[in-house]
Each structure stands twice: as structure tokens, then as C-alpha cells.
Amino acid sequence: MIKIISKLLKYPKSLLLGLFMITVVFFVFLRANGRMETDLDKYMPQEHPAFVYSDKAEKWFDIKDGIIIAVENKQGIYNSGTLSKVKELTKELQKMKEIEPRDVTSLYTADNILGTDEGLDVKAFYKRVPETETELKELQENIKGNDMVFGRLVSTDETVTVIVARIDDDVFSQEFYHRILETVKKYNEPEILHVAGRPIVEGTMAYLGPKDMKKMIPVVLVVIVLVLFLLLRNFKSTLLTVLVVFFSVIWAFGLMAALNVPAYAVSSMIPVMLIAIGVADGIHMYSHLHIYLKDNTQATKSEAVFDMVKEMWKPVVMTSVTTAVGFISLLSSEVYPIKYFGLFTAFGVLTAMAVSLLLIPAGILVFGLPKVKERKSTDETKTKKWESDFHGIISKFLIRNKTITLAATILILIVSAYGMSKIWINSSFLDKFERNSDIVLTDKFINEHFGGTSTLNVILEAKKENAFKNPDVLLQMSKIQIDLEENLSEVGGSFSLSDYIQRMNQVMNSDKKEFNTIPDSETLIAQYLLLYEMSGDPNNLWEVVSEDYKKANLTFQLKNDNSKALNAAIGRIEKSREFFESRGITMKYAGSGYKGLVFTDLILEGQIKSVIISLFIVIGLLALMFKNITIGLIGSIPIVITTVISFGIMGLLDIPLSTTTALLASIAIGIGIDYAVHFIERYKIYARETENREKTIRLTMLHSGRAIMFNAFVVIMGFLVLTVSVFPPNRALGGLVSLGMFTSFIGTLTVMFLVLYLSGIYFRKSKK
Amino acid sequence: MKILKYIAVLFIAAVITQTAMANSLTGYQIIEKAVNRPAPKTQKATLTMTLVSSSGSKRVREIDQFTNDDSKVEKKIMFFQKPADVRGTSFMNFSYSGDKADDQWIYLPALKKVKRISSDSKGDYFMGSDFTYDDLGDRNPKDDNHEILREETLNGEECYVVSSTPKDKDYMYSKTITWVIKNKWIGLKKIFYDENGDLLKTLNVIDYKNIDGYWIQTIVKMINEKTKHETIMNLSNIKVNDSVPNSYFSERIMKRGIK
């Protein structure tokens, strides 16, 4: 390896040009073939049984997510102005190519089934916009009298009415999202129009997240450049270190484009990882160069460079390979975007390694050594003395207080473990937004006036046809609905076949409230259903039951799309499983909310699996590299500490796990390994050189310790920038990456250092 | 009988003349002829309605139906025989010429009550099938603008192909295209486009018969192209101009049935 590098370094200019050309090639690929995947369904593993089933159920019952448009008039909606807006907007939505006309529901499209003494009256609420006082009054009475509309399409305070446009998953695009918002805007005033619903939330997120990242990443880079410059005190060194990150990001994304892999939302984490990891190699190499130049003031440019390469190639390769292996372990995840994330980050890490080992030395050979600090010699020695004293004091302090340090660490770990037990996964999209953002306020507004913007579908499947004409089964369905609506504040409404039967029973009995029940005769139910098919739109019926009455769909409306609300609902629904199973009816779940829940579970499961796998691989690799199993175990200390504390703090601060935050374990591994390897490698070298434990510690602290501190400082400063982001998930990311860097750094320099010291490894002979 | 023969000869002569004039027929005339082709005054038949869902599950209904059409009002009474859970359910429909909405009654044996159903929409689906009342009843040709597209052979029959666009822009179809068999003036196929101009439904006439001089479509199949739902209606045991007295059309008969 060293031979290849040395040979290549004989032609530093061509080498620089070569690296630059490769980067250009990857950049061209990226420009020509790079694309972003915005269809959230593509993120989910299509072959997973829960998704396969949900997709099937969505087809059976035509379950689709709806865009909800609320038309609010504080003076009340029963006036010709508001009603004509509802009509016009309904028609405009029906004419959009993304929306099927029959998928738009509003007061204008809904049918009113009225019971009269002599019969049944099926009518549209209005076709021509009512003008007169009497017509408006009549409409108001009709709506109030119909439970299937009052509270569902019109709020009970009669100031809001909704238009729901259901759309297929695959039609949603940024362009459509903006067109919907523009269309709705035209209808404002005096009415206020609000747009909500899962497609809108997903659309806003897909739009806001990357937009915010695009804005923030350059700021992060600028801060990192500035901090690096402050620490390295040299422009050229800073530039070369940052170029390493820059090249590795372009290579990684260029390769993705070349292999025709689209960028997913998690892919925006790749540069995040590469920034955090890529600067480390440069910092450690420069750190070594500085020390070498201080000790050998007369050394030539090439002597210094070759010493740097000779001494540093090994730890750089070791750290990079272990980090890459850590990321490759993400291939065990069932979620494709995460697999790709692991694979291409690993590639980026190896790129950063190769580029660091070639670009930095070649750059120094071409552009010259960084100027040795031309400070007054008194200052110089003062600084040096202070630095050396500082590190010496820290190490002495730690050794003196080893019991306290170890006890404190264990205490922190116990508290963190408690925090970890409280951690929860959140599949919510809405929780990713600012509490006072438009989208959250609109959602809240609609949830206050209506049943809920999120849905959970319960799919019941029987073995026999006509099973759902059975009164007992229908009654049980109705019982679940009442139970959830009464006992869970998050459940705002529900809808099933039993609602239709109850409505028909009431209507056919002169609209008397006491008949709003399930009749106990199966033939009467069958005849009601036939009647409904004959008089209403049977397509409505096929959204709650299959045509052979073998399958049924119970829909719950939830006021919150987070995992807690979904799990609470599922918990209560599960109580009826026994009842249904005793009748040969199976119960399963479906819908986008449920898929989101399963999806986050899968991500978490994949994360835990990959963390455990990579922990073992890393211990093994370290043991192999240092030819010592104890070293492997000691080297894993920073990783374990960082992982446990990160997740512990998330639990304690009630930050839920999500697709992005779950990936933080990977950062912990990537960075923890770097620190451990650099530190142990130096420790080993100085141990051989000095054969003195105290000296070894002091020198290692000065060499690696300083570099680690620099590295941590640079990345922490960079990522703290993200904490002022407008997009909460990016804020959490900034805070947690900074925290991870900090704990890795502290963990390496305190606990791992102590354990290494106490283990007496590399000092066998002098061991007392 | 002589008079009848005379009429028949006249009728044939008329048909021949019309054939000769065929090329000069307008789209409106073709549709008008199809709508106003001779129809029996009364009809008895068994209607077998097969509903096929998109997943392929089938539901079969068997209905005895009796019709009496005196050109002002078409009265129809239907008795469900199958499936068993709705046996005895009956349905009565009075359809008026002109703009007057249909009158409908239903009798549910399990409820033992006859109820009136009033509906304001001709766009409602007929008994949960893929046919709307409008698709079944003959829409007034004056409600659409017609245009003859071409003449072509379909299933071995010479047909006119006519495109019809409703004058009312809010109508549920934006356009229909009808294949009308020359000389028989019977529709063989029809396709429907929704408000946005997308293909919505296809109607195929699978079989038709001449029963006592009347061309009657006996097997028709409607496919909803959006939902992939199908309805097949099959008329059997057809008897035309048999005795279907006005007394059949009463609430009493709805409850009792016709033995």
C-alpha cells in the first residue's frame, strides 16, 4: 500500500489532475443521470407481507388518501356564496387529470337519504345553488338530520364544510401539489380555505426537507471551513481537507447516478456522514505533520510528506475500512433507501480515505508545506508547554480519579439505559413540522371541527360469503366503533357497514331515532342492502364491504398520525380479535398510516440489527488489526457509549426515533471507530518507542488526543448550524450529530483511555 | 289480418326506401330511429342479472319482470326470486314520457311494508348494476347533438357509428359513441366517456332476437372501464304482447306476487 502511494506521489501534479478528472467524470454522471425519488411508496419494501396485504386491501375497498379542503365561513356556510364556491371548487377538482371525478366528495356530490312516512327519498343536497331563505333553511335541516353528513362533511357548528379529493399514491407530484394550493387560493375571501390531508403533508415534507437541507449544507460547510482554518491556521491545509469531503460526496452521488439509483430522502444524510467522517483523515494527517515539523525543523518538504504518509496510512486505512464495514452492515435492513444509504456512504468513506492519502500529500508537494507558525519563540514554547501540560493534566487527573470517572460513566450509562427504555418510534409526518406552521395549524383546525385527518383501516375477512350480513357481526363492529370513539380522545370518528345498516333501518322506519340500530334479522339486513344498492350509489357500499360480503373495511378517523395514537387504537381493536376468530373471521390492518407504522418498525429493527452486526464486525476487525482481542473490546467502548447516550438522551428528551434519527447509530459507529483506532494506534507506537506508560499517555494525548479534539470541535461547530434550521427533523439531526461527536470524543479520551491505561496492554514486561 | 299484411308490406317498403337513402341520413335520424323502433306494448320475461366485481366474484340475481307500455307511461313490476335472502322483494317503476321523474316503490318482505322511493337523478345506478336508469331507458335524442362518424361492419353487421354530445354540459357523460345496425335500428355497442373525456364504460350487445317482429336485445354486457366492474343482463322466457293488465301494478300485487 505504502509503495503504491509512494510511487503515485512521484508525480504529484498528474495525480492531482487525475483525481480532479475522476471527480469531473462523476460530476457529469450526476448532472446527466441524477434523480430524486419522491413517491413515498417506493421507500417501502414492496414484498413485505404487511405491505402486500395493505396494498391488496386498498384495491378491494378503493382506500386512498384524501386531500382535505376546508371551506370556512365564520358567519355560517348556509348562504349562496359559500355554497356556490363549494360547487365550483368541486367541479374544478373533478376536472383535474390527477383526480377521478367520483373520488371528489363534498356537499355538492353527496346524496341525502331521507326517511319519510311513506318512503325513502334519495336526493342530492343541491345541484342548483339555493338562493332563497326557504331553500337555504331546507338544506340546513336536511344536513342536520343526516348523521352520515352532519359532522362529517359539515362541522357541527355549521361554519365549516369540507371537500375531500381522494387520489392515487402515484399521481402526486410537486407540480400537482403547487397547482392544488394555487387552485384553492383563488377561492379565498370572504371564506377562508384550508388544505390538509396526508398527501399534502407528505408533499410539503418532500418539498421542505430537501429545500432546507440545500440551504443549510453550504452554511455548515462554511462554518466547518472557518473552524478548520482557525485550527489549522493555514488556508491551503483547510482547502485540501475540505476538498476531501467535497470529492467523496461527488464520487458517492456520481456513482449512484451512474448505477441509476435515485436519491431518496435519507440520501441527504450521506453528505452529513461524509462531512463528519471525511474531515477526520485530513485533521489527523495534518496533526501528525505539525508535530513532525516541530520536532524536525530542518526537514524537507518530501521528507515531511513521506513521514506523514508512512506513519498515518495505517490508521487512516484502518479507520476507513472499519467505518465502511459499519455502514455496509446496513445492507441487512429491509428498507432499500437505507441499504443504498449504507452502501454509498461506505463508498464515500473509502473515497475519502483514498483521496486523503493521495490528495493531501500531493497537494503539499505541489503547493508547499503549510507555513510553520511564525510566532515569537516565547509564545511558541508557552503554547507548546501549555498544550502539553494541559493534556498531561487531563490524563493525570483522569488516572487519579479513575474510580470516579468509571463510576460516573457507569452512572451515565444507567441513566441512558433508562432513557432508552422510554424511547418510542414515530411514524408521524405531521410531527416533523413546526408546531405553529401552517400545515400543523390547518390540521389542528380540521381535527377540531371534524373526525380526524388520519385514518386506520381494519380489514375483516370471513371464509363464507354473506358473513357481513350477520347481525351479531355487525353489532360487534358497531361496538368497536363506539368503544374507540368514547374511550380514545384521538379517535374522532369511524365508518363501517354497520353505519349504513343503522341509517337504512332508521330511514325505513319513518326516520325515528330509536331505529338507529342493527336489526336482528339477517334477511331484513340483506333486503336493506339491496335497497341501498337500488337507491344509493353502490360504489359507496363497496368502500366498506366487498360485493360478496366476505370482507369488510372498518375505517377509523384519528386526530393524530403518530404511532402512539395508532397503537392505542390498535390495542383496543385487538380486544375483539377473539370474537371474530371464533366466527372464522380474520382481522388485519391497512392504509397509509398503518404502513407508516410498520415501515418505521422495520427501520428500527434494521437499525438495531445493523448496530449489533457492525459492533461485532468492528470488534473482530480491531482485534485482527491489532492482533489482540482485548484491543477489539476496548476499541468498541466509544461506540457503545455514544450509541447508548445518544438514544438515552432521545428517550429522556422525548425525541422519537424516526427514519433520520435512527441512522444516528451509524454516525456513532463511524466516528467512534475513528477516534478509537487513531488513539490506540498512536498509543501502541509510543508504547513501543518509550516503554513508559506515563510518557505514552502524555504523547498519545498530545498527538491523537489533540487531533480528536480538533475533529470533534470542527464537526460540532458545523452541525450546530443545523439547530437553527426551519425544519425540525434537520434541527434534531444537527443537535444529535453534535452530541454524538461530543460523547465519542469524551468517551475516547476518558473511559477508553482509562481502560486502555489500566489494561496495561503493550506494557507486558513492565507490568508490576 | 289483411290490414296487418298491408301494414307489413308498407313497413318493408319504408325500410327499403330508407336503406336507399341511407347515405343521406343524419346522426340525429339514426339515433331517433333506434330509439323509436317498434316495441311491444307488454312484455313478460325473466331477467338474470350477473354482477362481476373487479376481483372476479359473481353475484347472480333472478328477477321476474312484467312491463306495460302505453306510450305515455311505461309501467314495470319486478319480483326477486334469487338470491334467497331477498326472495319476495318487489320493485315497481312508472316511467313517464316527458320530464316527469319516475315513480318507484319497493316492498321488503322482511319489513312487510311497501315504501315509495323518490330519486331526482336519472344518473342513479339501476339495482347496483353498471347501468344507470338513463342507460336503460331511452334518452331523448333531442338532448344531444349527434354526428355520424363512419359506417363499419361489427360482428358481421353493417353499422352506423354515431357520436352524441350532450347539450347539457353538466351531464354525467361528455360523449357517447353508438353502433347502430342498419335496417334493424338496434344498438350493437356503445361507449361512454366521463366528464373529463376519459373512457368510462363499454356496452356490448351479445345477443338479440327478433321476437314476434320486434328486435329485442336479450344479452347485454356493461363494463365499467374505471372500476373493472361488469354487469351482464340476460332476458329469457320473453313473451311479448301477452296479457299484462294494469291491475298488476299495485301495492297489493307487490306484496302478494304474480302466481
**B227 to chain A, closest Cα gap in Å:** 9
DSSP assignments along A488-543, one per residue: -TTEEEEE-HHHHHHHHHHHTTTT-GGG-S--S-HHHHHHHHHHHHHHS-HHHHTT
CB contact under 8 A, A547 and B59: yes
Tell me the C-alpha distance between A146 and A482, whole Å: 18
How far CA B138 is from CA of A736, B104, B125, B187, in Å, comes to 71, 18, 15, 11
Residue (of B44, B67, B217, B86) closest to A534 by Cα position:
B86
Chain B residues touching residue A101 (CB < 8 angstroms)? 194-196
DSSP state of A467: G
* HSE toward the beta carbon, residue A467, CA cutoff 13 A: 21
Cis peptide, bond prior to residue A190, ω within 30 of zero: yes
Q: What pTM did the predictor assign? A: 0.78
Average pLDDT, stretch A183-194?
89
Question: For residue A65, is it left (φ>0), alpha (ψ between -120 and 50) or beta?
Answer: beta
Residue (of A636, A747, A768, A607) closest to A693 by Cα position:
A768
* Strands annotated E in A640-681: none
Q: Which residue in A119, A508, A527 is closest to B86 by CB distance?
A: A527
Tell me the C-alpha distance between B18 and A369, whole Å: 103
**Per-residue pLDDT, A730:** 77
Please report whether residue B121 resides in a domain.
yes
Tell me the C-alpha distance between A316 and A617, whole Å: 18
Domain residue limits at B133:
25-256
**Per-residue pLDDT, B189:** 93
Cis peptide, bond prior to residue A315, ω within 30 of zero: no
Q: In what order do the strands lie in the sheet with A160-167?
A: A104-105, A160-167, A65-72, A192-196
Please report whether residue B117 resides in a domain.
yes
> From the CB of residue A79, how many other CB atoms can be counted at a distance below 10 Å?
16
pLDDT tens readout for residues A730-745: 788 788 888 888 888 8
Q: CB under 8 Å to B87, separation ≥6 — which residues?
A: B80, B81, B109
CB contact under 8 A, B124 and A535: yes
Ordered structural domains, chain A, with CATH:
1-33+233-374 (1.20.1640.10), 63-203 (no CATH), 379-421+592-768 (1.20.1640.10), 447-591 (3.30.70.1130)
**Residue B142, domain CATH:** 2.50.20.10
- Is A218 in the B-facing interface, judged by CB distances under 8 Å? no
Q: How many domains does chain B have?
A: 1
ipTM: 0.84
B interface test, pick of A547, A550, A553 with most B CB neighbours within 10 Å: A547
- Is A538 in the B-facing interface, judged by CB distances under 8 Å? yes
A interface test, pick of B50, B59, B60, B118 with most A CB neighbours within 10 Å: B118
Residue (of A291, A312, A108) closest to A698 by Cα position:
A291
Q: Which residue in B57, B125, B226 is closest to A537 by CB distance?
A: B125
Supply A73's cell numbers.
365561513
**A173 to chain B, closest Cα gap in Å:** 20
Considering only residues A36 and A165, tell me which one the structure prediction assigns the higher pLDDT.
A165
Please report whether residue B47 resides in a domain.
yes
- Is A547 in the B-facing interface, judged by CB distances under 8 Å? yes
- Is A171 in the B-facing interface, judged by CB distances under 8 Å? no
How far CA A455 is from CA of A155, A492, A546, A649, A656, in Å, comes to 18, 10, 19, 31, 21
**Per-residue pLDDT, A232:** 81
Chain A residue with minimal CA distance to B197?
A: A95
Residue (of A250, A264, A249, A169) closest to A209 by Cα position:
A264
Residue (of A730, A397, A727, A446) closest to A561 by Cα position:
A446
Q: CB under 8 Å to A456, separation ≥6 — which residues?
A: A555, A556, A558, A566, A569, A570, A589, A591, A593, A594
In a 3-state reduction of DSSP, which class is residue A703?
helix
pLDDT tens readout for residues B163-203: 999 988 778 888 999 999 998 899 999 999 988 788 999 99
Which amino acid belongs to residue A198? R
How far CA A457 is from CA of A45, A494, A544, A709, A732, in Å, comes to 20, 10, 10, 52, 31
CB contact under 8 A, A101 and B196: yes
**Per-residue pLDDT, A375:** 44
CB contact under 8 A, A122 and B89: no
Confidence class for position A767, pLDDT limits 50, 70, 90? very low
* HSE toward the beta carbon, residue A690, CA cutoff 13 A: 15
Q: Which residue in B89, B170, B196 is closest to A530 by CB distance?
A: B89
Please report whether residue B6 resides in a domain.
no
DSSP state of A332: G
The stretches in chain B having pLDDT less than 50 are 20
> From the CB of residue A208, how many other CB atoms can be counted at a distance below 10 Å?
19
Tell me the C-alpha distance between A566 and A491, whole Å: 9
**To the nearest whole number, what is the mean pLDDT of chain A?**
85
Please report whether residue B18 resides in a domain.
no
Confidence class for position A169, pLDDT limits 50, 70, 90? confident
In a 3-state reduction of DSSP, which class is residue A242?
helix
- Are the beta carbons of A491 and A591 closer than 8 angstroms? no
